[in-house]
Structure 1
Amino acid sequence: MNTKDFSGNNAFSGDKRALSERDICSKFITPAIQQAGWDLQSQIREELTFTAGRVIVRGRMHTRGEKRRADYVLYHKKNLPLAVVEAKDNKHSIGAGMQQALAYSEALDVLFVFSSNGDGFLFHDKTGLSGKTEHELSLSEFPSPAQLWQWYCQHHGFQDSAVQLVDTPYYDDGSGRSPRYYQMTAINRTVEAVARGQDRILLVMATGTGKTYTAFQIIWRLWKSRQKKRILFLADRNILVDQTKNNDFKPFGQAMTKITNRTINKSYEIYLSLYQAVTGTDEEKNIYREFSPDFFDLIVIDECHRGSAREDSAWRDILDYFKSATHIGLTATPKETKDVSNIHYFGEPIFTYSLKQGIDDGFLAPYKVVRIDFDIDLQGWRPKKGQKDKYGLEIEDRIYNQKDMDRNIVFDERTQLVAQKVTEYLQKTGEYQKTIIFCDDIDHAERMRQALVNLNPERVRESTKYIMRITGDDNEGKAELDNFINPESRYPVIATTSKLMTTGVDAQTCKLVVLDQRIQSMTEFKQIIGRGTRINEDYDKLWFTILDFKKATELFADPAFDGDPVMIYSPKPGEEPVPPEAPGTIEEPAAPYGEDGIPEGEGEGEPYEPVGPGEPRKKFYVAGQPVTMIGSRVQFLGPDGKLITESLTDYTKHCVQKQFATLKDFFRHWSSAERKAEIIEQLKEQGVQWDDLRAEVKQKRGNELDAFDLIAHIVYDAPPLTRRERANNVKKRNYFTKYQGAALQVLENLLEKYADTGIEHIEDMKILRLPPFDQIGTGLELINAFGGKAGYEQALHELEQALYDDKSIA
């Protein structure tokens, strides 16, 4: 058949239905879009991949899931996505791609949506300004850039000055870096809200999704358009201000300064400051009053879930003083308790990008949780009558349980056991992976540091900075914070902390987060989990593990963990802000010392909780009390964002039975394998944790099992044999009678080695160089005793068959 293109010229001769989707794009859809006035270089992006693909963890291996990719995204001046076009081949109808295109448009925040099979376009207009919500267009009727931009501005109600602001481009350093799709949405929505005159704006973006870079692009566009000429960026940690100034905000150059509590220079345009640097209890410390109330036209508040959310906060004074400015709040965790509300102050978020979305898109790292329970935590402990702690203080007579551990009472053996489990995990998975251990207070962090030092003497001899306490009161520790978060710095590896590292610490390569802290605040919990969610593929950081010793990860099950922020109260003018508690809310106790439990000043200390005016909390220290691990379970993040909870045994069953439905299937595979070590490694990669399984079985049975018997017993409930029992069975069957001399000695020693250490070791030919084999002869001599390598391997294979001669299974 002869097909004409949209301009009426003969463009294609043949069966259009035989063309591929790519051919339909190049011959019909792209020319139609270009003919409408869209520039191929600056306004049209074909096959735009806008997510990274979810990281899928399988044991200790990982892969990437499918990436989301739009066939076409059309932009206004590279800044703003205006339209999505989904293409199908000509075997499909013109609207076959519409639902897929609509899904992409939701993600990309696009108003105009098209589907095409090369015959024309189905146009979905979310504004309704074209006359209909959905209707067909011929190839020659595709809207021009000017038409869609006009409808866009009309839909948003932009006047001329607003159009100029929205038109202002992003900062481009020439490196090709551009905002991710969700960052672009956050930036555009914020700029547009300012253009409409909105003066209180809230952005909610999960930790690790680039809030500071997003803030920079917002400020850049508002500053370059001269809509906002003097801008204040507020944060609550020195490291956050310095990171921002030296990294994302660097392009502001000489126009930027950091405010200190000394002399103020009013000739700059971009100001960065700690809240604490411009506030204080004494009037002379209130440096911000040296600026006139209308000096700043824009204030951006980083981590605004902290002090600025509290009505009576000293930090809030700054915002009230500069109330004529536009205020933009940034947070990963909007605070909504009965007396603290971000939403009451800023209004509903204009954009939310959650942890779940970030993990689904592949921009944030998924996690697995290992919950470890101790007998003393769950069963409780009561002192004997008149019992004193190790410092001679009589212990208050009551039952102490998990909520008291390390806060009201300290057990040396418990601290030691936590440190031991952390050390064992690192020794099995990598001793140089960055690790943060969250403790209840500074005292706890120091005790944990000491315990870890004594358990890791070789690493500490390499560097005394292998383990560091990084808390607000310790200058040496704080000085190492930059090195801890620097992927190129090997040390420190392990950081014990309390409050200092909960917020804003950009630990890109942190692979282990240890929770030995009782956490009741959902806000704090989200911030802590956020320390591990960053991805750094250059350093193989794509997922992380949470070791939980105090049930903190039970908060994952709370509906508030990853939902949209819900405003809990909205007092009317003159009304006291004390509404009823909302269901599902974990209420935070009022901070008795400074803001959110952090003293005024640097905002980086962790004091003891007082029990009365001026009194420190009593804490008892007990030594010599045995502590035992009574359970552990592994939890993995499922595709629905929920944790999949299984015991170690159940998880192993699930892993193995996916491949081998019955014991007979597993035995057949095991018996036919040339090397059993390959099966062991394969199952390890798929999630079978051999060391943990062996430890669990040894604790219950008092002996160690071979890998085969571990699986047979745990997965298929078969009665197990120990390695020694299997070795003795081989001896009883007179297996060795056909060998003599050096060959017989080698096989007898291989059998003993199997009984001592397992199947993997005897399969490695290097074993022949080690004692006691090296006393019999050289490696080459021993192999030649079997007539060469083939003969040796045949003898070893027969030995393995004799070891696993389980006729009842076969």
Structure 2
Amino acid sequence: MNKNNLSERDICSKFISPALDKSGWDLQWQVREEFPITNGRIIVRGKLHTRAKNKRADYVLFYKSNIPIAVIEAKDNRHSVGDGMQQALLYADMLQVPFVFSSNGDAFLFHNKLAKEGNLETELGLDQFPSPETLWNLWKEAQGFNTSQEEIVTQDYYSDGSNKTPRYYQILAINKTIEAIAKGQKRLLLVMATGTGKTYTAFQIIWRLWKSKTKKRILFLADRNILVDQTMTNDFKPFGSAMTKIQKRQANKSYEIYLSLYQAVTGNEEEQNIYKQFSPDFFDLIVVDECHRGSAAEDSNWRAILEYFSSATQIGLTATPKETKDVSNIHYFGEPVYTYSLRQGIEDGFLAPYKVIRIDLDKDLSGWRPEKGMLDRYGNEIEDKVYKQNDFDKKIILDKRTELVAAKISEFLKSNDRFQKTIVFCENIDHAERMRQALANENSDLVKQNSKYVMRITGDSEEGKEELDNFIFPESKYPVIATTSKLMTTGVDAQTCKLIVLDQNIQSMTEFKQIIGRGTRIHEDFDKYYFTIMDFKRATELFADPDFDGDPVMIYEPNPGEPVTPPETFEDDAEEGSPGTAEGFSGLDENEKNSGEPKSGEDETFPGGDPRRSKVLKYYVDSVEVRVASERVQYFDANGKLVTESLKDYTRKTVTKEYSTLDEFRKHWNATERKHAILEELSNQGVFLEALAEDVGKDVDPFDLICHVVWDKRPLTRKERAERVKKTNYFEKYGEAARKVLDALLEKYADSGVVQIEETQILTINPFPQFGTPMEIIQEFGGIQKYNEAITSLENALYLETA
């Protein structure tokens, strides 16, 4: 057998897999071929998107089916044994595995990350591949696991018999948590971006600890009724009859898996603290969902639950750890055992990227000062001062500003899809109601068809809260637009939300991350691959803050002499009630209403009362014009930064990265038999030629389009290129029948481009059937090889020169 003639897959099936089988690896459970690591980043430009190529390892080897321990990168035999090592090391770093192999079918190059200095890489024969026990013992020794710890970390995942397995970052999060608990760590923090499957990850952690009998009674705490109910019916369903939800006044101790609202087990009165009906050592494990919320503060009623069960291992889950001078997740739970960030999720293609439309309004930039003695629409004299952006919709209302924002939102929807789910974040409930009215007026045609087209979903509106599930549910058409303040900041799994509007001054990084998280889920069935952020109050400047997607850093400053008393209503809970007050997502039960957590301040509709009857805290002005000062679109680039970049700029940068000069590009274009391959590769990198062609002319050849945009060459239309070929003696070497076919192909090229004439299927459509069947036509050229040579020759003639 000549190995040089074998493909890479042949090398895998004939040499690498047999070597693994011979050394004791179970090819069904322990060996995963073509293991997908990432999904391929989604690249967005304009209204178009594409996916970059995903990262996929040729082999990932698992010990006991749940612990990735080795990566193998295969190459065909025309490569050396070690040619795949650098690629394998990249994958190994992502999977954080210690053993790395490369092979071309002759031998293995073994890179041992655990090896002592000087013995890092060695070559092994095909019959020398290490057994699972050999690699596991090396890894176990490096980790320092004893026998009981080994039993914990090797417990299998839950499997329903399908091929569904955790994603690579979920595997890391689960295994690192299990390993830390096996080594005796009592407080753990797990940081995973919204939309990356925190609850599923938590389930697998709990399942493995429960099945190994490491933890026998487990409590899962959340602060939203809907979060508990969804968890029980979805991810936690396999626990079955071993699981219960703690209801008001219930303390049934016959279950093993307990789920509860904080509000269900706490209250203002001692007898309402149901959790004390359990002994302090009843639970072995407590998992705290959204731990950045109520339990983050030391003097919170909810923190008392964690302190009461202090003997239990406690895991905090959050996308956004809260780290201020007064409140700290890290101070309580410790440094994160694992972090999977929004930026990494977007880079891997598991989260939706975003583009930002930044709209600055003239009064926001320059401020506004009333004329002396000016009255608002209720007859109140407006205080003489310069009102700035932070004052609008709080201290002073400019009606025409609200109307302009609503008009720009509606303009965007009308130019894209008027039924894409949209959340508008406003300053307060009053602002959210006025925005609802303005949007209803801007979209009166659709509101007439269904009044729920736009709704205010805030903590004080029972009608709005009742529609929240419909807003979230992908199959529900209405509501389409939700105006809100704080209610939808967190805990809202809006899978199909494509537009997030920021008309709110956001100072909290935690709150900002939570709001952005409302759009990060991908839902391919509903064509949701990316989302748009429309920013009216410069909130997206927080993207430039190093803290936006960096590792959380503790800045907590406890003062033993003078204890800090953080406010019970935190910045991400203000104005619409803290967790547990009358803002619950699925209808509040008595447990939620009696949470013991303080409610927010005064009525936001008219803080301090109706301005027409009491001291004026807000002025309502309907006569001041507001205009758009500037508007620009920004994209999320490969380095995780927002850049203001046109499609032309992006195309220029992307193409010149691959082809530094026009001559280099032209040579590559002419040397490539199928031009479609080049165009497809550029498309995969986000170069959308159809969108570019709208600026230049739809009949422009892709080659000319690229040369024009990137190197400023005058473009030729396809018709001009076709006419040039007709004027040459190109056809003379062919017979009459073949010349007619080539002439028709030129016409097809002029109509629809080079990609179409490269496909033999074109011979099945008019006018080609009048020349014979596809097979008869091809025979006129002397067979398929000669026909393909004729197409290549025709393309060479088309691109012989450029303008």
What range describes the TM-score normalised by the shorter chain of this pair? 0.7 to 0.9
Cα deviation, residue 651, structure 1: 6.1
CA distance in 1, matches of 2:466, 2:691: 38
In the other structure, the counterpart of 1:48 is: 35
Aligned mate of 1:599, from 563, 568, 577:
577
Cα deviation, residue 158, structure 1: 2.0
Secondary structure of the corresponding residue to residue 24 of structure 1: helix
| TM-score normalised according to structure 1 size | 0.75
- Name the stretch that deviates more: 123-132 or 216-225: 123-132
Maintained 8 Å contact 2:221/2:287: yes
CA distance in 1, matches of 2:533, 2:73: 40
1:685 aligns with 2:654: no
In the other structure, the counterpart of 2:633 is: 634
Maintained 8 Å contact 2:152/2:214: yes
1:59-112 Cα offsets, whole Å, 9 max, x none, are 211111010010110112221111111112333332222221111112112121
CA distance in 2, matches of 1:67, 1:245: 33
Change beyond 3 A, Cα 1:688–1:162: farther
In the other structure, the counterpart of 1:512 is: 499
Cα deviation, residue 171, structure 1: 1.4
In the other structure, the counterpart of 2:63 is: 76
Maintained 8 Å contact 1:202/1:349: yes
Change beyond 3 A, Cα 1:403–1:577: same
CA distance in 2, matches of 1:683, 1:28: 43
Maintained 8 Å contact 1:86/1:114: yes
CA distance in 2, matches of 1:652, 1:128: 50
Cα deviation, residue 571, structure 1: 5.3
Maintained 8 Å contact 1:593/1:607: no
Secondary structure of the corresponding residue to residue 631 of structure 1: strand
1:235-264 Cα offsets, whole Å, 9 max, x none, are 122222222122211222222222233332
Change beyond 3 A, Cα 1:272–1:466: same
CA distance in 1, matches of 2:388, 2:42: 38
In the TM superposition, 1:636-655 aligns within 5 A as: 636-646=635-645
In the other structure, the counterpart of 1:558 is: 545
CA distance in 2, matches of 1:33, 1:259: 49
Aligned mate of 1:325, from 297, 312, 319:
312
- Name the stretch that deviates more: 622-631 or 128-137: 128-137
Cα deviation, residue 570, structure 1: 6.7
In the other structure, the counterpart of 2:765 is: none
- Name the stretch that deviates more: 459-468 or 66-75: 459-468
In the other structure, the counterpart of 1:804 is: none
1:443-477 Cα offsets, whole Å, 9 max, x none, are 11111111111221221122221111111221221
1:370 aligns with 2:348: no
1:354 aligns with 2:341: yes
1:188 aligns with 2:166: no
1:232 aligns with 2:219: yes
In the TM superposition, 1:378-417 aligns within 5 A as: 378-417=365-404
Cα deviation, residue 319, structure 1: 0.8
Cα deviation, residue 192, structure 1: 1.3
CA distance in 1, matches of 2:73, 2:651: 39
In the other structure, the counterpart of 2:470 is: 483
Cα deviation, residue 590, structure 1: 8.3
Cα deviation, residue 337, structure 1: 1.4
Cα deviation, residue 577, structure 1: 7.4
Secondary structure of the corresponding residue to residue 500 of structure 2: strand
1:546 aligns with 2:546: no
CA distance in 1, matches of 2:224, 2:693: 39
Secondary structure of the corresponding residue to residue 451 of structure 2: coil
Maintained 8 Å contact 1:441/1:608: no
CA distance in 2, matches of 1:305, 1:274: 15
1:625 aligns with 2:612: no
Cα deviation, residue 24, structure 1: 2.2
CA distance in 2, matches of 1:405, 1:256: 49
Cα deviation, residue 50, structure 1: 1.8
1:12-65 Cα offsets, whole Å, 9 max, x none, are x43x34433223222222111111000111111111122111111132111110
Secondary structure of the corresponding residue to residue 276 of structure 1: helix
CA distance in 2, matches of 1:92, 1:683: 35
1:563-614 Cα offsets, whole Å, 9 max, x none, are 1222224759x476779xxxxxxxx998479966663562465945799xx9
Cα deviation, residue 336, structure 1: 1.4
Aligned mate of 2:234, from 247, 250, 256:
247
Maintained 8 Å contact 1:655/1:687: no
CA distance in 1, matches of 2:522, 2:640: 18
In the TM superposition, 1:285-300 aligns within 5 A as: 285-300=272-287
Aligned mate of 2:255, from 249, 268, 293:
268
1:453 aligns with 2:459: no
In the other structure, the counterpart of 2:24 is: 37
CA distance in 2, matches of 1:141, 1:391: 88
1:498-525 Cα offsets, whole Å, 9 max, x none, are 1111112111110000111110111110
Change beyond 3 A, Cα 1:575–1:30: farther
In the other structure, the counterpart of 2:518 is: 531
AA aligned opposite 1:125: N
Tell me the matched-pair count.
650
CA distance in 2, matches of 1:469, 1:199: 43
In the other structure, the counterpart of 1:497 is: 484
Maintained 8 Å contact 2:189/2:315: yes
Secondary structure of the corresponding residue to residue 410 of structure 1: strand
Maintained 8 Å contact 1:655/1:688: no
Secondary structure of the corresponding residue to residue 517 of structure 1: coil
Change beyond 3 A, Cα 1:417–1:192: same
Structure 1 unaligned spans of 5+: 1-12, 580-587, 663-681, 691-711, 717-809
Aligned mate of 1:313, from 284, 300, 309:
300
In the TM superposition, 1:213-224 aligns within 5 A as: 213-224=200-211
AA aligned opposite 1:599: G
Secondary structure of the corresponding residue to residue 392 of structure 1: coil
Maintained 8 Å contact 2:573/2:579: no
1:402-432 Cα offsets, whole Å, 9 max, x none, are 1111122111111111111111111110011
In the other structure, the counterpart of 1:304 is: 291
Maintained 8 Å contact 2:359/2:628: yes
1:133 aligns with 2:120: yes
Maintained 8 Å contact 1:393/1:620: yes
Change beyond 3 A, Cα 1:656–1:457: farther
- Name the stretch that deviates more: 103-112 or 507-516: 103-112
Change beyond 3 A, Cα 1:569–1:288: same
In the TM superposition, 1:699-778 aligns within 5 A as: none
CA distance in 2, matches of 1:35, 1:330: 42
Change beyond 3 A, Cα 1:603–1:561: farther
1:99 aligns with 2:97: no
Aligned mate of 1:142, from 126, 129, 150:
129
Cα deviation, residue 152, structure 1: 2.4
CA distance in 2, matches of 1:164, 1:358: 31
| TM-score normalised according to structure 2 size | 0.76
RCO comparison, higher one (Cα < 8 Å, 6+):
2
Cα deviation, residue 181, structure 1: 1.0
User: Cα RMSD between the aligned structures?
Assistant: 3.2
Change beyond 3 A, Cα 1:536–1:17: same
In the other structure, the counterpart of 1:789 is: none
Structure 2 unaligned spans of 5+: 584-598, 610-615, 663-687, 697-707, 713-802
CA distance in 1, matches of 2:143, 2:18: 30
Secondary structure of the corresponding residue to residue 336 of structure 2: coil
